[in-house]
Amino acid sequence: MEAKKDPEGSWFIGGAIVVAGVFVAVAVFLSRSHGAGELGPTPEVVVPPMPTGPSPVFQTPAAPSTVSVPLSSDPDEAAAQKSLIDTLQAAAAIYSANGSYMAATSLELLKVEPGLTFEPPTRASTGPTDVSISVSVNTFAAAALSESGACFYARDTVGMGTAYGTGSVCTGSAALSASEPSWPQASLVEVPSGSPSGSLSGSSASP
């Protein structure tokens, strides 16, 4: 004998299947949305355009200007002044190679000017070819005693140029006080000033 089907039971089972399917679909959608939120969108890489136009031009600084530096008309005094000019020239060459006057030691100066001797900053010069020096990174000062007994100073400071002077204390330390544009009693010679990389030259005056 054939059993009767319960219509209410069939609707219940069918409804449960539909509801379960809806839950599964919602769960899958939420799972995908949550994963996308964690990873985030793929960032867009923007490559800037390459600059066009002419390359920048780098200019070489101008050469130091020249000024007239007086040397004494007395040959003995001029000899001491010439020693100072030669010393400044040697120090300038050392500065140009090293970027600091600290490298202009007595030993290095002797390599350039073997005809001179050099004293530390607090030891006095004893003659026109014996030069007392004082050095720092950007300043070089020197003093030389002439045969006549006069002491002459020369000081170069990077960016400020060269100054000259005289004094009773003939040391490199004392030469730091040099502040005059020239020595007294002189004929004129051309000597570059300003940048320490310039060359220096001098000649004594005729008596």
Split at pLDDT 50, 70, 90, the class of 52 is low
Is the CB of residue 176 less than 8 Å from the CB of residue 134?
yes
Mean pLDDT to the nearest integer, 19-29: 59
- Asked if residue 43 is part of any domain, the answer here is no
The angle subtended at Cα 134 by Cα 129 and Cα 135, nearest 5°, is: 120
> By percentage, how much of the chain surpasses pLDDT 70?
56
Residue 119 has pLDDT above 70, yes or no: yes
Q: Give the structural domain span for 136.
A: 66-192
Output the six-digit token pair for 53: 């136009």
Output the six-digit token pair for 206: 């005729």
User: What is the pLDDT at residue 70?
Assistant: 72
Instruction: Compute the distance between CA of residue 159 and CA of residue 161 in angstroms, rounded to an integer.
Output: 6
More confident call, 39 vs 123: 123
Using DSSP bridges, classify how beta strands 151-157 and 139-145 pair: parallel, antiparallel or unpaired: antiparallel
Least confident among 18-27, 118-127, 128-137: 18-27
- Asked if residue 162 is part of any domain, the answer here is yes
- Asked if residue 91 is part of any domain, the answer here is yes
User: What is the pLDDT at residue 184?
Assistant: 76
- Asked if residue 181 is part of any domain, the answer here is yes
Domains in the chain: how many in total?
Answer: 1
User: What is the pLDDT at residue 165?
Assistant: 94
Count Cβ atoms within 10 A of the Cβ of residue 29 and give its class: 0-12 exposed, 13-18 middle, 19 or more buried: exposed
- Asked if residue 31 is part of any domain, the answer here is no
Is the CB of residue 85 less than 8 Å from the CB of residue 200?
yes
Mean pLDDT to the nearest integer, 82-105: 94
User: What is the pLDDT at residue 69?
Assistant: 72
Split at pLDDT 50, 70, 90, the class of 51 is low
- Asked if residue 173 is part of any domain, the answer here is yes
The angle subtended at Cα 99 by Cα 123 and Cα 166, nearest 5°, is: 35
CB atoms within 10 A of CB 55: 6
- Asked if residue 57 is part of any domain, the answer here is no
- Asked if residue 136 is part of any domain, the answer here is yes
